[in-house]
A = this chain, B = another copy of it.
Amino acid sequence: MTVTVAVDAMGGDLGPAAIVAGARDAAAEGVRVLLCGIPDRIGAELGDGVDGIEIVPAADVISSSEEPVAAVRAKPDSSMVTACRLVRDGSASAVVSAGSTGAMLAASLLHIGRVRGIARPGIGAPLPARGGMCLLIDAGANADARAESLLQFGVMGSLFMHDVMGVDSPRVGLLSIGEEPSKGNAVTVEAHGMLACAPDIDFAGNCEGRDVLTGRFQVVVAEGFAGNVLLKALEGTASILLADLRTAARSSLRATIGGYLLRPALRTMRERTDPDTYGGAYLLGLRGVVVIAHGNASRRAIANAIRIGARGAKADLVGRLTERLSAGRPTSDLQAPAAINTVPQVAAPEIGDQ
Contacts and interface: CB of A to CB of B under 8 A. Distances in A.
Contact of A268 (B178, B214, B236, B251): B251
Interface stretch (A46-54, A80-88, A204-212, A307-315): A204-212
A183 interface: yes
A237 interface: yes
Interface in A257-315: 257-266, 268-269
- For the residues of A in contact with B, the DSSP-based class is helix
State the number of copies, please. 2
Contacts of A349: 177-178, 183, 208
A140 B236 CA distance: 21
A346 interface: yes
A329 interface: no
Contacts of A178: 347, 349-350
A319 to B, nearest CB: 32
Nearest to A266: B248
Q: Which of A211, A235, A249, A255 has the most CB of B within 10 A?
A: A255
Contacts of A185: 143-144, 225, 346
Interface in A133-172: 140, 143-144
Contacts of A340: none
Given A213-B240, A258-B260, 5 more contacts: A130-B240, A143-B185, A176-B225, A212-B233, A214-B240
25 contacts: A140-B177, A143-B184, A177-B225, A178-B347, A178-B349, A182-B347, A183-B346, A183-B347, A209-B232, A211-B236, A212-B233, A213-B240, A229-B230, A230-B230, A233-B234, A238-B241, A245-B269, A248-B266, A248-B268, A251-B265, A254-B262, A255-B264, A258-B262, A258-B263, A258-B265
